[in-house]
């Protein structure tokens, strides 16, 4: 048995040397695959940008009163008429100043959509005098969507080395020469395939050793 092993090694020394060199070449990072990997999943992000529109200013207008005027039932003590004519005159003049004074008010309201995003702002300017809302002026500025950009990131699956074991048989035509064998296939992370195995020729009664290498290729758009 030991002699048979020595004979196999002697007769197939060149194949073993080539095989060892090829394994070093294989696992050393050479033989890069130029074919593209097929994507596993996609991660899509949609980005919508917004642009601020020019300010729209409406002309001022006089609001209309709704309902009847409600007068106070109880007058605060500081507004009671004084019995002294001089003090009464002062009270009157102060009330006239307050009544005729012009007061300006400004306010703004932020507009938001259902998602809570700001989509605009409404500004209000109001003027009050003689105990009346004299005028209201509104202006507004809106954000409109400008562009929508869809960004798709291709996520490739994590490829691992894969091992396969199998058997094979072959024969020549006309003059039968039957070969039987078993072997291993290794598919690496670059999707290249290495084949190594051994067999037996039933006709010549000789053992065999075989190596194989397969490179992924691209056909058309695949």
User: What would the pLDDT profile of 105-146 be if each residue is shown by its tens digit?
Assistant: 999 999 988 888 888 999 999 999 988 889 999 999 988 776
Cβ neighbors of 101 (< 8 A, separation 6 or more) are 129
d(CA 142, CA 54): 8
Number of neighbours of residue 199 by Cβ within 10 angstroms = 19
Dihedral sign computed on CA atoms, order 187, 193, 199, 203: positive
The predicted structure's pLDDT at residue 33: 46
Range with the poorest average pLDDT among 20-24, 36-40, 76-80, 135-139: 36-40
Question: What's the mean pLDDT when you consider all of the chain?
Answer: 78
The residues spanned by each domain of the chain are 2-40+157-214, 45-65+74-153
Lowest mean pLDDT among 23-27, 53-57, 154-158: 23-27
73-82 pLDDT, tens digit each: 888 888 888 8
Which CATH class for the 2-40+157-214 domain? alpha beta
**Edge-first strand listing for the sheet containing 206-214:** 162-170, 179-187, 193-201, 206-214
Of the given ranges (38-52, 155-169, 176-190), which has the lowest mean pLDDT? Answer: 38-52
């Amino acid at each position: 048995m030991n002699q048979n092993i020595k004979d196999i090694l002697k007769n197939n020394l060149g194949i073993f040397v080539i095989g060892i060199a090829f394994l070093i070449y294989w696992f050393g990072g050479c033989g890069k695959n130029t074919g593209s990997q097929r994507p596993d999943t996609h991660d899509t992000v949609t980005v919508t940008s917004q642009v601020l529109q020019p300010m729209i200013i409406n002309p001022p207008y006089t609001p209309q009163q709704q309902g009847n005027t409600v007068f106070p039932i109880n007058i605060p003590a500081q507004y009671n008429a004084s019995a002294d004519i001089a003090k009464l005159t002062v009270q009157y003049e102060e009330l006239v100043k307050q009544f005729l004074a012009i007061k300006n008010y400004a306010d703004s309201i932020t507009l938001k959509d259902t998602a809570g995003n700001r989509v605009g702002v409404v500004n209000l300017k109001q003027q009050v005098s003689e105990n009346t809302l004299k005028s209201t002026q509104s202006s507004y500025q809106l954000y409109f969507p400008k562009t929508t950009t869809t960004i798709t990131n291709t996520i490739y699956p994590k490829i691992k080395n894969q091992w396969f074991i199998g058997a094979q048989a072959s024969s020549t035509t006309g003059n039968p020469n039957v070969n039987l064998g078993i072997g291993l296939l290794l598919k690496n992370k670059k999707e290249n395939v290495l084949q190594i195995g051994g067999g037996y020729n039933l006709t010549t009664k000789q053992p065999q050793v075989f190596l194989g290498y397969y490179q992924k290729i691209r056909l058309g758009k695949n």
